[in-house]
Structures are given as structure tokens and as C-alpha cells.
Chains A and B, each alone.
Chain A
Amino acid sequence: MKYVPKPDLDNPNVSKSHPLIDLAFLLGGVTALALIALFAFQKFGERLVVLLPAEKEAAWLKNLSVEKEFFKVSSHWRTERELNELLNDLIKKTQFVSPYNFNVKIVCDETPNAFAIPGGKIMVTSGLLERLKTKNGLVFTLSHELGHFKGRHHLKKIIRSVGMSFFTSLAGFESQSQALTLVSGLLNLSFDREQELAADLLAIELSKKYFGGLNGASELFEVLSKEESLSSSIPSWFLTHPHSEERIKVIRENSNENQNEIEKYQAPGNKSLCL
């Protein structure tokens, strides 16, 4: 056999794929997998966490006095007692059944706000108490927070943030990073708005039972909308809470013919609540 030299024609040993296209597919795949895992964790976690008995929840949190560690709580015991009496009256009259042992505390803060804390604690800021002038507005506020407890929104939120911080630490980000807080915030916004609307609906139901009608129920949102003047131009899907105007509209849509009386109530001012 005579050797005839010939050059390599086609090289079957090297794939023709472009490295950047490979990279795009792989990165896309990894991101998609991580997002699916995060989504599944949160959906599954939310289903699971509502099974936690409220007594267990309260017992676990007994030693962690959230209100002492994170907030300055007012020592104005008289107002605190009044609020707790009002809450108990509300629960009794509306026959609101809940495994929680509710307790209202006043947080020293100028900004009008109220929130639900695991274990059945309802925190109302002194700034909100100063601005609310009627019992109707106060009852609506308290029953809105009861709505959060009914939906176990505080627990679902914990699951959300645990999943999110696990995901971000996996991606190499510190959970406190500003850019990331923004992104995770945006992802959770619609979730927050859904919860707010659900809590509003319960507040509407309880207010109707308590006062017979919804006159004066929208006071909370009138107070909040004054603070909102800046955010009202921002589309609602950028906000954690629905616009106050929208929420007032929901109250109006749900109101009955009954013209109940608006009962005056004025808590002491911010200065006397928080010396």
C-alpha cells in the first residue's frame, strides 16, 4: 500500500455550538430551576405553616418579647386597657372565633400604622391613635389586624422571607443588600396586597356586625391617604398596600343601607402616650 498524504477534511471531534449560546441556555436553566424551587418552597410552606396550632405558635414566641426588642412600647396602661377592652368587646359581639389569645399594644411611633405580630399581638402606633377620632375607625383597624390573624398572614410572610433569603444567599447575595430587598420586595408585593384586601373584607364584615353598618369605617384609610399623597401617583402594583382610595371604594361597595351612628373616641395624643 502506498501512503498518500491527505489533509483532515471535516473534524468530527469538535462541536460546532457557540459557547455564549451554551452559556445562555445553561444559565437560563439554572435560574429557572432555582425559581421553581423557590416557588414550590413558598407554596408548600404556606400550606404547611397554617397547620401550626395557634397555641404552639404563642408558646414558642412566649420568650421572645418582640415588642420589647424591636419597638418602643407605650407604658400608658389606661389607653392600652381601653383598647384591649374594645377588642374583647368586638370579639364577643361579633362572635369572632379564633384560637389566638389577642392582646393590643401601643407602639411609640409618629407614623400612623398597625400590624399583627405572631402569637396574637396587635400593635397600633401612637401616631395612628392620635389621628383616629372615632370608635368606628379604631374597630375597623383592630378587625383588619384580626383578619391578618385569621389568614395566618404573619406566618406566611415568614415563610416567604425565609425562602427568599435562602435563595439570595444561594446566589451569593447578602440578604440585607439593598438591590435585593427591592427585587424581593417587588416579587412579594401582589402577595401583600392580596392579604391586605382579605383583611379588609374581614374588617368590613366585623364592623357591620359590631355597628350595624359601615358609616365611619373608612376613617383609617382617610388618615392613611393623607400620608400617601406621594405614593398615590405610583401604580398600585409597586406598593405593598392597595391605594387607600381603592380600599375606601371596597368599603363603599360592601356597605348596606343601614345608617349607623358614628361614635366618638379620642386616645391621648402622641406626647402623653409616649413620654
Chain B
Amino acid sequence: MNGLVEWGSVLVLLAVGFVFGGRSERRHYKSIQNRETKLLALPLKSETKLQVSEIEDVLLVTGSVAIASDYLKTFIANLKNIFGGRLSSFESLMDRARREATLRLKDQAAKWGADEVIGFRLETSTIRQNGIEILAVGTAVKFKKLST
């Protein structure tokens, strides 16, 4: 009996992971694509060198995000640990977290009125297992406007 209950609850959790995890992922991707199109015009560079004479103002901008995995993704990943291979179930999580963090950074920079963001870097840390954390850091730059 015990075994049936255990396997039953695993099945329920897998179904919950599939339905809710899948739905939140589809929604997130839709929102990411919309905002990426909106913020496309703001250049984002990893390069750090600029002519100081051109700069009017700078601001450190960050975007950070933590996304939880769902039961299905974690279950698949745990099984992959037996056989090896790519943790493909986590790839979409990584992708979403990276793009969301970048978008938050760009959003902050755009609101401040930046002309571009330089020195862009992505970092990751672990605050808990089965979740993904990404921190995006950059320097938002306003250029001197030509006086008319």
C-alpha cells in the first residue's frame, strides 16, 4: 500500500510540474519576447572602454532573478544524473533566467535615460538547489548632447 501511495504522489507531482511549470514557462517566454522587442534599441556592450570626454553621467545598473525549477524538470535532471548527458530540462530555465535578468537591467537603464549600457556581465550564484539565480551587472552611460 505504502508504495502505491508514494508512487501515486510522485505521479501527481509530475503532472503538477508538467501543467503548471509548462504554463508559467510559456507565459514567461511570451513576456520576455515582448519586452526584448521594446528594449531592443538600447545597446548593451561587454566592452568597458569609453572616451571619458564623451560621458555626461554613469550609473551602475543590475538585474537579478531567481527562478524555481518544477518537479518534472528536477525529476528528469535527477534521472539524467544516472546516465549522464545534457540536463536539457534545465536549459530553458537557464535561458529564461539569463534573459529576464538582462531585461531587468535594461529596464532600469532605460528608465534612467541611458544611451547605452557598457561593461555588461552575467553572474550566477546558488541560494538554493533546484532553482536558478542570475545577476546581470552593467554601467549605464549618458553621453554629452551636442549643444545647439
Contact = CB atoms under 8 A, between A and B. Distances in A.
Interface stretch (B57-65, B85-93, B121-129): B85-93
Contacts of A168: 3
A7 B35 CA distance: 11
A179 B4 contact: yes
A6 B37 CA distance: 9
B94 A17 contact: no
Interface stretch (B48-56, B70-78, B134-142): B70-78
Interface size bracket, B side: 20 to 34
A26 B3 contact: no
B40 interface: yes
A238 B56 CA distance: 87
Contacts of B1: 174, 177-178
Nearest to A22: B76
A189 B66 CA distance: 54
Interface residues of A, number: 27
A19 B4 contact: no
B3 A19 contact: no
A13 B98 CA distance: 11
A15 B76 contact: no
Contacts of B88: 15, 17, 22
Contacts of A20: 18
B3 A7 contact: no
A39 interface: no
A3 B7 contact: no
A172 interface: yes
A171 B3 contact: yes
Contacts of B4: 173, 177, 179
Interface string A17-53: 1011011001101100000000000000000000000
A13 B73 CA distance: 16
A229 interface: no
Interface string B107-140: 0000000001000000000000000000000000
Given A5-B41, A172-B6, A173-B3, 6 more contacts: A13-B91, A13-B98, A19-B89, A172-B7, A174-B2, A177-B3
22 contacts: A3-B116, A5-B40, A7-B36, A7-B40, A11-B95, A13-B91, A13-B98, A15-B91, A19-B18, A20-B18, A26-B76, A26-B79, A27-B79, A30-B79, A30-B82, A171-B7, A172-B6, A174-B2, A174-B3, A177-B3, A177-B4, A180-B3
Interface of A: 3, 5-8, 11, 13-15, 17, 19-20, 22-23, 26-27, 29-30, 168, 171-174, 177-180
Complex A-B, nearest 5 residue pairs according to Cβ-Cβ distance, in ascending order: A173-B3, A26-B79, A15-B88, A5-B40, A3-B43
